[in-house]
A = this chain, B = another copy of it.
């Protein structure tokens, strides 16, 4: 394929490619900027190798830096700025980029010679350089380290073909409407955000870039600007609904889709969305599949609460006969993990089905429900229990701020669930048990409740259940 940026600069030179609220860059303007940046990156020594790492928030300059890496024919290594120094160094020593570009605002004094501030790049006096002419299907465009709730992070390689397939599958579900504009408030170093950038280039669509999730700012944008689509996680959606409760007047008339990832919507939240006429498309995907591979349309949302929908046009899906693990095939699937040649093959069957690590079930009409991570599944007396269900029930218990459930060995039942809770004051264990018995099958009620100051989380905000298990084992 032709370089997507130069292609859109040729096809739609005057269309706005990205708009951060202060500046609007057309596709031709973007291409010119990138030529200059590629010259400066080259002069900075950033293009000496095949890969360039980048650590940035959702700034317009970070956006351009990332695309300049692609447009120079190099691979982006995305670095989550929430990581510790050790974690960053671990990822960089695995991916070995020429340099790690760092947004000035995220600079740390601990950073050594391999790190370059954006401002250092922009100060270079350099001639503009021609952009690479080709984005080859098989070329690795980006590497993202998976959040690693259970082990060392692995670098997921995402090819141009993966990103293209993902964007096409999404378009066959959501459509491509004239002057679509996608709001990106999710991090561009996650697949949720980077996939919006890629769709922008492939559809010739405007991306409305937002530096961080400020509900009040986003609400104003959705009301006053011609944004048509936004990607959200449940937390963001709920915060936006809180503001809808307070303000009169709906979003702009062209708004047509909240694309929801990171967990299914509950009935109460759905009802609030319906009340305000906000269309929600629930989706399911992962870093390894370049974002969504399954989605629930707005029309089905009401009668299929809790479902993540049906496999998209390019997704083939089935459940493993034994443990109901979700298995998929999709052209958006990563070719593998960096420096771990056998690691992906281990997660695939002989006939090429990829093990997602999630357990699910399908209803009679083919709608998928994700029950939980197979590694988190607790088997008690032959019954499968997923922590998510128990946690969701206790999430509304007065005084509980946070909760995580894991399984522990049980001489009688094989395993049984126990809970770790965060609360500002001690809570009665018997009251907690009673509460669970009224709402859950008996075998799902946690046998013990441990109180913690905070739950162990990774940089992506996911609970590290393996640390809770270690803690229990140490306590023995």
Chain A: residues with CB nearer than 8 A to chain B? 1-2, 4, 7, 10-11, 168, 171-172, 175-178, 202-204, 310, 313-314, 316, 366
Contact = CB atoms under 8 A, between A and B. Distances in A.
A133 to B, nearest CB: 9
A4 B172 CA distance: 12
A7 B313 CA distance: 7
A11 B310 contact: yes
Nearest to A176: B175
B313 A11 contact: yes
B177 A175 contact: yes
B204 A172 contact: yes
A314 B1 contact: yes
Contacts of A313: 1, 4, 7, 11, 202, 204
Contacts of A4: 313
A203 B169 CA distance: 10
A366 B172 contact: no
A10 B175 contact: no
Contact of A168 (B168, B175, B316): B168
Contacts of A178: 175
A313 B168 CA distance: 12
Nearest to A256: B178
A178 B299 CA distance: 12
B203 A172 contact: yes
A171 B199 CA distance: 13
A181 to B, nearest CB: 14
Contacts of A10: 310, 366
7 contacts: A1-B316, A2-B316, A4-B313, A7-B313, A10-B310, A11-B313, A202-B313
Contacts of A316: 1-2
Contacts of A202: 172, 313
A171 B178 CA distance: 11
Nearest to A313: B7
A126 to B, nearest CB: 27
Nearest to A317: B2
Nearest to A178: B175
A10 B367 CA distance: 10
A314 B135 CA distance: 11
A312 to B, nearest CB: 8
A101 to B, nearest CB: 29
A225 to B, nearest CB: 20
A199 B313 CA distance: 13
Nearest to A8: B313
Contacts of A171: 171-172, 176
Contacts of A168: 168
